[in-house]
Chains A and B, each alone.
Chain A
Amino acid sequence: MTKGLNRRQLVQRAVGASAGVLAARGVTEAAVVAAPRAARQFEGTRITVVGREVTIPTLLELSQDWMRETGITVEPVVVSGDLGRKILQSAVTGAHLADVHLHDANIGADLYARGYYLEVPEAVKDAVAWDDIFPFQRDRLSTWQGTTFGIPYDGDNMFNTYRRDLMLDPANQEEFSAAYGYALDPETGPKTWREHDQYAEFFTGRPWAANGETGYGFASMFKRGGGLFWAYVSRAAAYAKHPSVPDFFFALDSGEPLINTEPFVRALTEWKAAMQAYAPPGAINTQWPENVDQLLAGRVAMTNYWADVGKDAQNPENSTVKGRLGFHFTPGSTEVYNQRDRAWETLPEVSYAPFLGFGGRNFAVSRTTPQAEACWEFVRHACTPEMTLQVSLTPGSGMDPVRQSQLSVDAWVNSPFQMERDEAERYLGAIEANLQSPNLVPDLRLPGWAQYQDALETAVSLALSGGSEPQPALDQAALQWRTVTDQLGGAEKQMGYYRDLLGV
């Protein structure tokens, strides 16, 4: 990333990087320019928008011309603390927080089920090149019971980021082959969790770290309330998500929680052993920022994380690993549990189950707005492929690709990130492979998801800390999940929502 530039300059660079890319990728001119509108049609209209702290100012900076053109003034609503909770609270109380929201997709159920947002008009979908958005985000994460309420803006998905340079090192190659009987693969990194733990074992305790200190195998989010749910589920998915069985968190027919079944117990048992042996000391308190820092500081060889890590690594002021990274699916498994048959199956090839942890963010228009027309005008401007790309190319925006048109290598190479071409190819290739996977695992976007999340996090953390064995800990979590399901209207109601999310 370029040193010494302010946000305005970074945004300008992002604009430059995205110019011309979209047309080359087949996005229609009409979509980019958005729907025709009468000049100054909304003269004097003020609307408010709430969203992530860097994203909205970036977006508004990019929208100055548009504001002059339409006469709409867009004002950001600054929310301190947890934005998701604030939006949820406003939905629960029916309060008006802002006219337009950029909300977390995983609380979408709690928002959409209440009818807190307006349905996205077909004309807006057309204007924002709806088909350019990746299918799962477009058809599932932005809808509720068949109605579209959100426009995907951020495509959170998790994959393995690893130190490719270490795996290319001939001495490491030779030693690893001799020890484990197969070669380190710099192009994919570890393909299975078994390989992952062997890679981790190999790179733990060797003096390869950035400052000549001992390196560790991997970092992960082990802390309760610090991303543990997503880190654990993305690991368990390899065993628990069979390519031909949609059931994952619950048995779809009965609503019975599956989180205490064999694949989840196996994943937890292995994860705990790997944490104790190959993660840095004190790993149980590692949450999302430290997790990234460990990789950027050159202390760990791998981390399974969101796409943000690839962007964060490009800033030489904070990162020692720019140009040294490889990206590939979260490790998979050839042994996968079939939840319908209650049996393990050995598959001919490695099965990957990419987890859409957190689910990204969607734009939506609040039902409480008195200015719906102006809001849709803003959304159709903000969500064009061009704007979405520019925002995602601005450092700190936190928006990951959610559209096919955002995967232009040229754009990323010429962006403020100044990604090296081959690293950009690997990075965008991993994102595309993830988001196009037929075996995607969506996050638990159900009403009351935070209660499910907390129960599972508590159980997993208890097992990781040695306070309980994995099986009884997960049994306890499953018991709590049943209670939560009962409190929220019962299995039939919740499974109806779960089936809707999965599209089955």
Chain B
Amino acid sequence: MSSQQRLATWTPPRAAGRREAVRRRRGQSYVRALLLLPAFLSLAFVTVYPLGFTVYASLTDWNLFNYGAPIAFVGLANWANLWRDPNFLIAFKNTAVFALVAAPLTYIVGLTVAVALDGATVGKRFFRVLFWLPLMLSSVLVTLIVGRMMFDPFVGPITAVFAALGLPQVLWLADPRTALATIILLQVWWGTAYTIMLLLAALESLPPELNEAARVDGAGEWRAFWQITFPLLLPVSAAIFLIQVVDAWKVFDIINVLTGGGPGTATQSISLLVYQQGVQGGNISYASAMAWALTVVIALVAGVLYQFSRRWAQ
């Protein structure tokens, strides 16, 4: 080999080391990919595939009870029908009202109780357990036992209080004007426990020096809360609020057990409608379109809230 040839094939020692490092890195990333493969496959199988399948279903006329008939592609017909379906529009309105009222109210009540508990000097542990109790109850138990009993027109304690005060009897769940509000009230009671738990943990982790310094500088309780404590709680508050809003848009069990969507359509929610159409009625295609419409709405709402929460957190 001539010196020129040798020069052509020669590589400096540093470049060879770089190539080796690249090869090693590549090898490592293959190993990583291999290790991630089971998780990716299971995610694809239990999440991506069903989601993709429901998108496909929403574009067909698939009905479980149309025996022997081939499944036809209908394009966006199911999606177009959503906006002409009075039941869907009512369910959309009810769900939006539920989410817009229940989530903020749950947060406000939760924050109030958490702050009060954080500052309590007596019975803190007792009240903490008391307020967390609803968290340990299943939704069906909450709705059936608490919801039904509390608002029972004959034996409910609320009815008794109204009667004792000489107020007229209110048919909480039986009157279309009050049914949704009653369900919101129950959701607030139930959801508050979760909010209290997280906010109380956040409050207890705040450095006390900041509040003490504010007091030394002459700030009152109220000002110290709004200017020190509340801003520090904003990151966790944003997360809680986001979860509450997303949960509220998916409301199903409370309504299903308490009113079944009635009286009339006064408490009909989108998730309940999806269940009635898809699970009970076998109308998979239309229920899929509804479920995806709900998912899109939730994603939009969550996106907007996320942007806000980032600003709050900053």
Contact = CB atoms under 8 A, between A and B. Distances in A.
- Same complex origin of A and B: yes
B67 A447 contact: yes
B176 interface: yes
B266 to A, nearest CB: 6
B263 A461 contact: yes
A294 to B, nearest CB: 10
A447 B281 CA distance: 10
Given A464-B264, A467-B266, A114 B67 contact: yes
Contacts of B268: 458
B86 A284 contact: no
A295 to B, nearest CB: 14
Contacts of B258: 285
A458 B265 contact: yes
Interface in A205-225: 223-225
B263 A284 contact: yes
Nearest to A92: B64
B277 A224 contact: no
A450 B280 CA distance: 6
Interface stretch (A43-51, A275-283, A371-379): A275-283
A462 B63 contact: no
Interface residues on B, range: 35 or more
B244 interface: no
B279 to A, nearest CB: 7
Interface string B78-103: 00000000110000000000000000
Interface in B263-292: 263-266, 268, 276-277, 279-283
A366 B249 CA distance: 40
Given A85-B280, A450-B281, A225 B64 contact: no
B61 A282 contact: no
A415 to B, nearest CB: 32
A121 B219 CA distance: 88
Interface stretch (B126-134, B167-175, B195-203): B167-175
B280 A281 contact: no
B267 to A, nearest CB: 9
Given A114-B67, A282-B153, A451 B281 contact: yes
B260 interface: yes
A503 B285 CA distance: 33
A489 interface: yes
A170 interface: no
Contact of B65 (A283, A284, A462, A488): A488
Interface in B106-144: none
B65 A448 contact: yes
Interface residues of A, number: 36
A476 interface: yes
B282 A451 contact: yes
Interface in A240-293: 280-285, 287
B261 interface: yes
Nearest to A487: B63
Interface in A462-504: 462-468, 476, 484, 487-489
A454 interface: yes
Given A223-B262, A224-B262, A454 B67 contact: no
B65 A281 contact: no
Q: Is the interface of B mostly helix, strand, loop or mixed?
A: loop
Interface in B171-187: 171, 173-174, 176
A465 B268 CA distance: 13
A226 interface: yes
Given A282-B153, A448-B65, A467-B176, A487 B283 contact: yes
A110 interface: yes
Contacts of A466: 176, 264
Contacts of B265: 458, 461-462, 467
A488 B286 CA distance: 13
Contacts of A224: 259-263
Given A92-B64, A280-B154, A447-B67, A285 B261 contact: no
B186 to A, nearest CB: 14
Contact of B262 (A85, A113, A281, A284): A284
A448 B66 contact: yes
B260 A226 contact: yes
A223 B169 contact: no
Given A467-B264, A488-B63, A488-B66, A282 B281 contact: no
A225 B264 CA distance: 11
A194 B87 CA distance: 33
B35 interface: no
Contacts of A487: 61, 63, 66, 283
Nearest to B268: A458
B8 interface: no
A454 B264 contact: no
A465 B65 contact: no
Given A282-B174, A447-B67, A451-B277, A464 B263 contact: yes
A106 to B, nearest CB: 13
B69 interface: yes
Contacts of B264: 458, 461-468
A489 to B, nearest CB: 5
A465 B259 CA distance: 12
A281 B153 contact: yes
Interface in A80-126: 85, 88, 92, 110, 113-114
Given A224-B262, A280-B153, A448-B66, A285 B279 contact: no
Contacts of B173: 282, 285
Interface in B134-164: 152-154
B171 A465 contact: no
Interface in B236-274: 256, 258-266, 268
Contact of A489 (B69, B276, B277, B283): B69
Given A85-B279, A451-B282, A458-B265, A285 B65 contact: no
Nearest to A483: B81
A110 B261 contact: no
B231 to A, nearest CB: 45
Contacts of A461: 262-265
Contacts of B282: 88, 92, 110, 448, 450-451
Across the A-B interface, the 4 shortest Cβ-Cβ residue pairs: A225-B260, A465-B263, A465-B264, A462-B264
Interface of B: 61, 63-67, 69, 86-87, 152-154, 169, 171, 173-174, 176, 256, 258-266, 268, 276-277, 279-283
11 contacts: A85-B279, A226-B260, A284-B171, A454-B281, A461-B264, A462-B265, A465-B262, A467-B263, A468-B264, A476-B86, A489-B66
Given A113-B67, A282-B152, 11 more contacts: A88-B282, A224-B260, A224-B262, A281-B153, A281-B169, A448-B65, A450-B280, A451-B280, A458-B268, A465-B176, A484-B281
